[in-house]
Amino acid sequence: MNGKMKILIVDDEEVVRASHLRLLSGHCCYVEAALNGADALREMERDSYDLVLLDLRMPGLDGMSVLRMIKQRWPESEVVVITGYPSVDTAKEAIRLGAYDYLAKPVDPDCVIKVAHCAIMQKKWTLHRVPTPDAEKMLYA
């Protein structure tokens, strides 16, 4: 994909998928959308994604089950849970399962862009693609 970061949007609401697609599509990101959890896992099988924006309440496979499977099979993928039904319990569970962040709908468009950017930077840092200034100093000390 020419080094572009790959983002998967998983939400059963068309307006949410379209909004996130419009916000995140561009020259630096390749963005796809899935209607439900089963479709999301099929997409991940076909081509793993750097970031998944994941709804919790969807028909069929719920978001928490999808999060669990993604983190087991593709642990290098960052996941941001975005839900219209936030609770302390689901937030704690999502973070425990490895979600990068947990957001309540409606989400401000700038917040979606910011959290996507931060999650991708976290992934790059974790994979040591982006050396920190301190790491560079240690290499040349």
Comparison of pLDDT for 135 and 21, the residue scoring more: 21
Site of tokens 């963005």: 31
- Average pLDDT on 115-127 reads 85
Distance, CA of 56 to CA of 67 (rounded, Å): 9
Percent of the chain with pLDDT over 90: 75
pLDDT for the residue numbered 139? 38
Angle between helices 88-96 and 63-73 (to 10 degrees): 10
pLDDT for the residue numbered 28? 72
Tally the domains of the chain.
1
- Average pLDDT on 91-117 reads 95
Comparison of pLDDT for 125 and 92, the residue scoring more: 92
Range of the domain at 127: 5-139
Mean pLDDT for all residues in the chain:
88
Q: Which domain CATH number covers 53?
A: 3.40.50.2300
pLDDT for the residue numbered 124? 80
Residues contacting 94, CB < 8 A, separation 6+: 56, 64, 67, 81, 102
pLDDT digits (tens, 9 = 90+) for 31-50: 999 999 999 999 999 998 99
pTM of the complete model: 0.85
